[in-house]
Amino acid sequence: DAGVIQSPRHEVTEMGQEVTLRCKPISGHNSLFWYRQTMMRGLELLIYFNNNVPIDDSGMPEDRFSAKMPNASFSTLKIQPSEPRDSAVYFCASSLARTSSSYEQYFGPGTRLTVT
């Protein structure tokens, strides 16, 4: 398996523009997570899905952020409009959640977003 795939790997955009980050989870995994990592705040969970349904979006900073998972093999994280404080590395991770088993997550390489 190719692992979790994220695109683009780097994104530079101007303040006010729309940014869309993409993620393809590992085939067969049923949970998907979006994280944001910065020096100041560390690793933050933004939202996660189980079986394509959003379960907890309490980490989404504000209404400018939205996430979708239209099917089991694709998810997007959109920021509209973007602001300089959104600059961070955004990670997608997936896992196979099974009762009475471990929930190890597998991370993608991340998208480094710079908003100028």
Site string for another protein, 53-72 (x = CB under 8 A): --xx----------------
- The burial of 39, by beta-carbon neighbours within 10 Å (0-12 exposed, 13-18 middle, 19 or more buried), is given as exposed
Site for another protein in 78-107 (CB under 8 A): 91, 93, 95, 97, 102-107
Whether cis (ω within 30° of 0) applies to the bond prior to 70 is no
Q: How far apart are the first and last CA of the chain?
A: 36
φ, ψ for residue 32 (rounded to 5)? -135, 140
Query: Could you give the string, one character per residue 33-52, with x where binding to another protein holds by CB under 8 A and - elsewhere?
Result: x--------xx-x--x-x--
Residue ranges that bind another protein, judged by CB under 8 A: 4, 31, 33, 42-43, 45, 48, 50, 55-56, 91, 93, 95, 97, 102-110
